[in-house]
Amino acid sequence: MPFQHISIENYKILSREKETTLIDIRDPQAFSAGHIEGAIHISNDNVAEFVAQTDMGRPLIVCCYHGNSSQGAADFFSQQGFAETYSLEGGYAAWKG
């Protein structure tokens, strides 16, 4: 199934109803400066390990700066076999807003 877009509000609802995995694909400095609680930082250095070790049946939410880069990443993770993959609309900027 291709990735879907998810609003911040719908992400909050989904994460209350189900165990989800939230990943942040921003650069390490941005992630260190602030991120959504529970987010896992993913980069080219750890993506293969993440895919190999993560429950693909759990909804996966991808966060970036503004919700643009996360779309391509969400598509990638969907192609890797994640059952439910979402791009967080507005990214971290909207979350922090």
Q: Tens digits of per-residue pLDDT, 3-19?
A: 999 999 999 999 999 99
Residue 33 corresponds to which amino acid? A
Active site residues: 64
The amino acid occupying position 93 is A
pLDDT category of residue 97 using cuts at 50, 70 and 90: confident
Question: What one-character DSSP code corresponds to residue 4?
Answer: E
Q: Give the model's pLDDT for residue 93.
A: 96
Q: What is the pLDDT of residue 22?
A: 98
Amino acid 58: pLDDT = 97
CA dist 58 and 61 (Å) reads 10
Q: What is the 8-class DSSP label of residue 19?
A: -
Percent of residues, the chain, with pLDDT higher than 90 = 97
Domain that holds residue 63: 4-96
Mean pLDDT, all residues of the chain: 96
The number of distinct structural domains making up the chain is: 1
Closest to 91 measured CA to CA, from 31, 18, 19, 20 = 31
Look up the CATH number of the domain holding residue 88.
3.40.250.10
